[in-house]
Amino acid sequence: MIIVTNDEGRPGVGRTAALLAKGASRLDAIEAGIRLVEADPAIRTVGRGGLANMVGRVQLDAMIMDGDTLESGAVGAIEGFAHAITIARAVKDRLPHELLVGAGAERFAREVGAELADNLTDASAEIWQDWLEATVPIADRARWQDSAALAPYVRNAIKADLLPSDDDITAPVDDDRPQGADTTVFLAIDHTGALGCGVSTSGWAWKYPGRLGDSPIVGAGAYADSRYGAAACTGTGEMAIRAGTSRSIVLYLKMGLALNEAVDAAIDDLRGLKGGLIDRITIHAIDAAGASRVVAVNAQQDRQFWQWRDGEAKPQRIQAERVDL
């Protein structure tokens, strides 16, 4: 048994490990761990406390996938609910669909009794308001919610000097300040040897309303196949969507490449991207035998992840590799 989760998974990795150690299934353990991340307002890009989109609203994406059946469930651009991962799980379990977005996903969430929540905390609202007042002229602010042209501001906001930096919203694990600058991803193998994956995010700060990142896109943000392995990405989701990064890693494993080779091949695919948004992305991967590798691509600072294996007393925080494109 193994769990791999990124640094933002800290609030939930212990719970996931404890459940797996007691014989829980991979999806039950993954969902339980991610719910704790979603509920922690210190993690600024997942669930409650997530950073707002361009118009000051927190929109959530999530996906969960069973590596045995290749069934998945995902939701995108939903507002007003505490646990996007649980709604995604309900899509998998209750519908003949893989992905619901926006108003339809919210209707389904109400239908299944999903927990309501206002995910925009005072701290996140203040960050958004400070950005709005510093960046948007008064004339546009007056019509910001309905008719202002947002596209130019979105294009400007992806520049490093306008987005909230990791230093602004990230702190050491033993610090009380807000933490987190990424999606959370969980990869797991349970006591049966089966694999699963789950992801949850509030996405990029200042994103255009309705933007979907890679997280709810099966094969981009995450993918699991118990025969070969599982992978998940954090960071610039547009890159993972264009390259199909998570599915590619699993396919490279299927082709017979070792885990290190499969991840290297996926990084080479990213090098082939031309134009568009090219930034940082972190790849998390495990194979069916339980080997793991985490690589931070184009990272501006060191990245960490959490890992737990059967028999270990507690999860370990480990330094990710760093690679530039």
Rounded Cα gap, residues 57 and 47, in angstroms = 12
Spatial contact of 102 and 246, defined as CB atoms under 8 Å apart: no
Rounded Cα gap, residues 290 and 188, in angstroms = 9
Q: Which of 16, 86, 170, 183 is flagged as catalytic?
A: 183
Q: Is 183 a catalytic site residue?
A: yes
Q: Can you tell me which residue has the tokens 């994956």?
A: 197
Rounded Cα gap, residues 234 and 219, in angstroms = 13
Sequence-distant (6+) residues with CB within 8 A of 46 are 8, 37, 38, 40, 180, 183, 184, 200, 201, 202
Q: What is the CA radius of gyration of the chain?
A: 19
Backbone phi, psi, residue 193, to 5°: 90, 0
Residue positions annotated with a catalytic role: 183
